[in-house]
Structure 1
Amino acid sequence: MRSPKLAKLSDDPWLEPYLGQLHQRADHIRYVEERLTGGKMSLDAFANAHEYYGLHFRDGKWIFREWAPNATAIYLVGDFSNWEQRDEFALHYGDGHGVWEIELPANQLKHGNLYKLKMYWPGGEGERLPAYTRRAVQDPDTHVFCAQVWHPATPYEWKFPDPAKPIGAPLVYESHIGMAQEDAKVGSYLEYKEKILPRIVEMGYNTVQFMGIMEHPYYGSFGYHVSNFFAASSRFGTPEELKELVDACHEAGLAVIMDLVHSHAVKNEQEGLSRFDGTLYQYFHEGNRGDHDAWDSRCFDYGKPEVLHFLLSNARYWLDEFKFDGYRFDGVTSMLYHHRGLGTGFGSYDNYFDGSVDVDALAYLALANRLIHEVRPAAFTIAEDVSGMPGLAAPGKEGGCGFDYRLAMGVPDLWFKLANDTPDEEWNMSGLYHELTNHRPEEQVISYVESHDQALVGGKTFIFELIDKEMYYNMHVEAQNLVVDRGLALHKMARLATLGAAGHGYLNFMGNEFGHPEWIDFPREGNDWSYQYARRQWNLRDDQTLKFHFLADFDKAMVNLARNTGIIGNKKVVFRLINEGDKVMAYERDGLVFIFNFHPNKSFADYPVDVTPGKYRLLLNTDHPAFGGHDIVPGEQTYESFAFNDGENDRNQIKLYIPSRTGFVLQRI
């Protein structure tokens, strides 16, 4: 997926003082790989812990293994033993490296049995779910989780294991299975397939990103407090139903990626890995370093070979078992730095080389990326990193982590700052253009106006920031309201400016394309366990008497323009114009000219814009009546450039009328 035109990390002159540290990081990556593989096997052969540990049916018998070096005794207990501790289900200490195992006849366990581990350690005992369990289910009455034997008689048969064709630049539809439906409940994999997938295909997105796939005990964590890393969340259905959904996405030509949460783990001890064998440091750092106070979770020790075995195998598992096409790595900034990225502005290169980088975490990320691309060469990875670390998307041999893309997290931060804190007449066009086009030369970025992050409890969607309470009263197509008019106009312009300047990919969170109102809040005690804000109100988008459909129709036109022209990821953004007083910005991209007038009340006649010589037609207009606009500029407009010399340079310009709060895309004929 990486563009061959990207620069090398070492080409950056600002990095010259730190090349020694970059080489040291590359050496450390090689050292860690040698330590893991012993130089005797490939990385993908090493990353198979899930085929050794956990419960497997092989050669007519059940085999179960677990790594628990501090344990003194382990028993399988479940409905097959009436939840009693029996000697016949006692694990035996195996190879002397903390591995426990048991073999059972085929008739001792059956598909659907519930079970746990009863574990003993010096001075204590507790029930645990196996670290490598592939299925965990929650009792609807007691809310207690159990592992479940999952061995269906008929394995799922894949019909479309890969997307129909290369997708090109990712146009990502970020979504959550449970809250995708309109009913006040938890949605399912199959409901998503039947009700949501057709919408995504119709909108033109080419990639689906699923959140919350790995099992998590608290639904309100949005899936980011993972307990069972190898288990697809049973809230949404069975593993076979998830496979059916992924298959349907591939049949539709969509790539499917998922959030991979290797930055931390849930603190829960009975469901998760914390104090698994009686120690707090089996999978996690010892002492304060093992706790993430801001997230109330546990932090992995990336220096332990057994932890890397677990995490690398997990990265491989979802590719092999469920045919995912890649990952969005969550919380990369927290992984990379000892300070977790908290309270650090990253305003200087020194911040990346001041001893705060966790080189073990960096080595893990580099090896994980290499593994993923070895197992599935067409797979791609996205890093959620706010620090902008040099080398994040550079190859490991250069001291980098090897991600294909980094999320351009500064872009939504700026849009929300403008919407919240800056009067319209003070919006800075130079700062906006800089943020929209800013990325390191050796990395590819995915741009977006808002993701799920911006609308979590306490926040608002971008449209709600712009319109607020007027959304409840003035979204009928007949309503006349200046606040709503402003909000709709800026919502469309922000998306068009972001997508048009997106270097290598674009992302949208489910429902935000039509201006989904309000915030995201999962059922919890504080809201009386309500699903009111943990769903998507598709009826708003579908109701032709409401203005939401204007935003959705515009988003569809915009996304399909990007797909049909192929500009993202392939064509350079060429600066054309910024006028701070007029609040006008323009740039060109492979025969397309993007022009924006952000001024709140001034329209401009015969406005000059530099272009490549030629004749242009109006291709997309945010103010078109089909998108809820005022139809000030007719849709059949054409513009022909004229040449002149400004006394220093030969130039070509077009002149056009640009209404206030309007964005245009012109196409060279």
Structure 2
Amino acid sequence: MRDPKLAKLSDDPWLEPFLGQIHQRTEHIKYVEDRLTGGKISLNEFANAHEYYGLHFRDGKWIFREWAPNATAIYMVGDFSNWKQEDEFALHYGDGNGVWEIEIPAEKLKHGSLYKLKMYWPGGEGERLPAYVRRTVQDPETHIFTAQVWHPETAYDWKHPDPVKPVGAPIVYESHIGMAQEDAKVGSYLEYKEKILPRIVEMGYNTVQFMGIMEHPYYGSFGYHVSNFFAASSRFGTPEELKELIDACHEAGLAVIMDLVHSHSVKNEEEGLSRFDGTSYQYFHEGARGDHDAWDSRCFDYSKPEVLHFLLSNSRYWLDEFKFDGYRFDGVTSMLYHHHGLGTAFTDYSCYFDGAVDNDALAYLALANKLIHEVRPAAITIAEDVSGMPGLAAPGSEGGCGFDYRLAMGVPDLWFKLANDTPDEEWSMNGLYHELTNHRAEEQVISYVESHDQALVGGKTFIFELIDKEMYYSMHVDSQNLIVARGIALHKMARLATLGASAHGYLNFMGNEFGHPEWIDFPREGNNWSYQYARRQWNLRDDPTLKFHSLAEFDQAMVNLIRGKGVIGHDPVVFRLINEGDKVMAFERDGLVFVLNFHPNKSFSDYPVDVTPGKYRLALNTDSPAFGGYDIVQGEQTYESFSFHDGEHDRNQINLYIPARTGFVLERI
């Protein structure tokens, strides 16, 4: 029976046995919100801890506050005190709720001053960076991070605080500031603005996703071991330079989202939150539950109001201060389950209701989404969840968590399984079509062939999986190599099938659009601290004598065509054809017909494909010479449908010549 309070969720008959538990979860979310706000203020008003804690210049003086309930004494030490502990910089215990504070005359601190906290607790002491610090810098010799006073004379003057217009369905360019440059070094915010942003605009993507923005001590963590949640990473530049980059993205009409890592925190104590006030349980769970052994990190205790105050305020901070347009929430599966999703296949619905769900974490995610959309109604929130939790991307008003999108993580898994484990002639067209179009009725999904995950050291990019060592020898346009020819063809077809069938959005990691070779590996002891694999070789994309150039040209043409038609997020995928023996599939979306022949060696003449009546032109052809193809099918062709009765139905078809390993997009004229 349909439950109006759960709306779309109760439309799923498989959820009917669990509607009682879903009700309990929604009641728990409401209970947590009431606990935080007292029913007297909005969530937006509550999530303002960053304006209370930390260092602020107010009414002609500096005010600093910190929550450290186990501390017995706290001092600010820095270059202003010759790094010595002085009484005039001792914090005073405040309201009895674990809050310490100090007022400092204006002349004692200046923009750029360096400082730390010297903290004492029963039986111990240590140096700490403030929990709400907004700027940290790393000493180039000692590699130690220090807090820095950041109070420039002139605040950044925003010219384009929001995208010029709503971007529509997100076509996401996932990227990393530091490794975006060609040179073997850490790239900067301004270099990204100058050199990478124009490429993204030209390629047709409408959303850029930044990784590693929140400060992290170890560069090689890719930004996923966060230490300072309110500090933009200084290794890429200043806060104003990040704002300048975001402003430029908005001027170009791009939405800007960032990876928000609230699933765990770095174990580091001097830089991070671990044992901040001498206890292991201030921000994190006590005992074994507080440690994520697989990630070597700490797990937040989402049941504590102070932790929720911290995380919700952090969700608001990046929207307010840097004008981000939303977030990709990292590690949602790990947050949702006590077992972090490890060793669990999620093969049936009982896995979502067997007592393994952390209802406090689920409540936090729901409240974070509610808050984010209160602050910025057009915000984009994306859940990285492999479990397929029902309701994760359903509206909060209908019993869901309120994410706008969930990553369709099964799609890249299938592409890599096909490339790795399945002979070409055994690829299942039904299985592929199902995965490309499969999503829960109540949710929107973002599809992709590969993200950064598939390319990290120990893995391979999709093109490297297909071509392997031949990439080192046979990527010149004049080179003839069957392995490379197969890899180039399937690389284009995988992207065309995935983007073409994407129900609501699409994602690509930078460089993968042109088949960036090899893996991603950040400087570390094991590679002699090399930047060789922590950069993007744009010269490969720009060289017309290399096949990488052709792949990039195809991706650009594909994205601009499909995005320009505006079908993603608006028009459903209409099934037209699957032939397992021929390895052919076809589907249609509001005037665009996608036809793909995955057969490794069979081409087909006069191949019938059902279409909406009309006349069609060949709008995109993976086999075009401009895209590294063999020009078997003549361009600029038109096809006119014909009608007939098959004995049961009136049908409309066109007949096509479809070469092996070729994909078409036909556009109705």
- The TM-score bracket by the shorter chain reads over 0.9
* Contact 1:175-1:509 at 8 Å conserved across structures: yes
CA distance in 2, matches of 1:574, 1:14: 25
Instruction: Give 1:396 deviation, angstroms.
Output: 2.1
* Contact 1:22-1:398 at 8 Å conserved across structures: no
Q: Superposition pairs for residues 174-213 of structure 1, below 5 Å?
A: 174-213=174-213
* Contact 2:167-2:255 at 8 Å conserved across structures: yes
Instruction: Give 1:616 deviation, angstroms.
Output: 1.3
Q: Which residue of 2 aligns with 1:499?
A: 499
CA distance in 2, matches of 1:398, 1:305: 25
* Contact 1:71-1:119 at 8 Å conserved across structures: yes
2:262 aligned with 1:266, yes or no? no
CA distance in 2, matches of 1:336, 1:192: 34
| 2:254 alignment partner AA | L
* Contact 1:50-1:314 at 8 Å conserved across structures: yes
Q: Which residue of 1 aligns with 2:124?
A: 124
1:36-91 Cα offsets, whole Å, 9 max, x none, are 00011000000000000000000000000000000000000111100101111100
2:36 aligned with 1:36, yes or no? yes
Q: Which residue of 1 aligns with 2:466?
A: 466
1:10-38 Cα offsets, whole Å, 9 max, x none, are 21121111111111111000000000000
| 1:143 alignment partner AA | H
Instruction: Give 1:385 deviation, angstroms.
Output: 0.4
CA distance in 1, matches of 2:470, 2:501: 31
* Contact 1:72-1:122 at 8 Å conserved across structures: yes
Q: Which residue of 2 aligns with 1:382?
A: 382
Q: Which residue of 2 aligns with 1:3?
A: none
CA distance in 2, matches of 1:363, 1:337: 12
Instruction: Give 1:574 deviation, angstroms.
Output: 0.6
1:472-519 Cα offsets, whole Å, 9 max, x none, are 111111111111111110000000000000000000000000000000
2:35 aligned with 1:51, yes or no? no
CA distance in 2, matches of 1:19, 1:541: 52
Moved more, 444-453 or 608-617: 608-617
* Runs of 5+ consecutive residues of structure 2 not aligned to the other structure: 1-5
* Contact 2:7-2:398 at 8 Å conserved across structures: no
* Contact 1:7-1:441 at 8 Å conserved across structures: no
CA distance in 1, matches of 2:550, 2:7: 40
Q: Which residue of 2 aligns with 1:354?
A: 354
2:432 aligned with 1:417, yes or no? no
Q: Which residue of 2 aligns with 1:393?
A: 393
Secondary structure in 1 matching 2:165: coil
Q: Which residue of 2 aligns with 1:230?
A: 230
| 2:395 alignment partner AA | P
Moved more, 391-400 or 530-539: 391-400
Q: Which residue of 2 aligns with 1:627?
A: 627
2:596 aligned with 1:593, yes or no? no
Q: Which residue of 1 aligns with 2:254?
A: 254
1:438-477 Cα offsets, whole Å, 9 max, x none, are 0001000000000000000101110010111111111111
2:118 aligned with 1:80, yes or no? no
CA distance in 1, matches of 2:7, 2:445: 14
* Contact 1:26-1:398 at 8 Å conserved across structures: no
CA distance in 2, matches of 1:194, 1:69: 46
Q: Superposition pairs for residues 268-347 of structure 1, below 5 Å?
A: 268-347=268-347
Instruction: Give 1:102 deviation, angstroms.
Output: 0.4
CA distance in 2, matches of 1:111, 1:626: 54
Q: Which residue of 2 aligns with 1:608?
A: 608
| 1:464 alignment partner AA | F
* Runs of 5+ consecutive residues of structure 1 not aligned to the other structure: 1-5
CA distance in 1, matches of 2:74, 2:260: 30
1:580-633 Cα offsets, whole Å, 9 max, x none, are 111001111111110000000000111111111111111100000000000000
Q: CA RMSD in A?
A: 0.9
* Contact 1:300-1:307 at 8 Å conserved across structures: yes
* Contact 2:64-2:103 at 8 Å conserved across structures: yes
2:643 aligned with 1:659, yes or no? no
Instruction: Give 1:542 deviation, angstroms.
Output: 0.4
CA distance in 2, matches of 1:542, 1:640: 38
CA distance in 2, matches of 1:576, 1:544: 37
Instruction: Give 1:7 deviation, angstroms.
Output: 7.2
Q: How many residues align?
A: 664
Instruction: Give 1:653 deviation, angstroms.
Output: 1.3
1:632-662 Cα offsets, whole Å, 9 max, x none, are 0001211121222222222111111100000
1:173-198 Cα offsets, whole Å, 9 max, x none, are 00000000000000000000000000
CA distance in 1, matches of 2:203, 2:397: 39
CA distance in 1, matches of 2:573, 2:49: 45
* Contact 1:75-1:86 at 8 Å conserved across structures: yes
| 1:488 alignment partner AA | I
2:521 aligned with 1:521, yes or no? yes
| 1:610 alignment partner AA | D
Instruction: Give 1:9 deviation, angstroms.
Output: 1.7
Q: Which residue of 1 aligns with 2:637?
A: 637
Secondary structure in 2 matching 1:154: coil
CA distance in 2, matches of 1:396, 1:336: 16
Q: Which residue of 2 aligns with 1:239?
A: 239
* Contact 1:29-1:396 at 8 Å conserved across structures: no
CA distance in 2, matches of 1:57, 1:636: 65
CA distance in 1, matches of 2:318, 2:636: 49
Secondary structure in 1 matching 2:340: coil
Q: Identity over aligned residues, as a percent?
A: 87
Judging changes above 3 Å, is the alpha-carbon distance between structure 1 residues 124 and 191 closer, same or farther for their aligned structure 2 residues? same
CA distance in 1, matches of 2:422, 2:363: 41
CA distance in 2, matches of 1:653, 1:18: 45
Q: Which residue of 1 aligns with 2:18?
A: 18
Secondary structure in 2 matching 1:278: coil
CA distance in 1, matches of 2:419, 2:138: 42
CA distance in 2, matches of 1:310, 1:603: 60
CA distance in 1, matches of 2:649, 2:342: 49
* Contact 2:412-2:450 at 8 Å conserved across structures: yes
Q: Which residue of 1 aligns with 2:453?
A: 453
CA distance in 1, matches of 2:519, 2:595: 31
| 2:103 alignment partner AA | E
| 1:601 alignment partner AA | N
Secondary structure in 2 matching 1:553: helix
Q: Superposition pairs for residues 516-595 of structure 1, below 5 Å?
A: 516-595=516-595
CA distance in 2, matches of 1:116, 1:40: 36
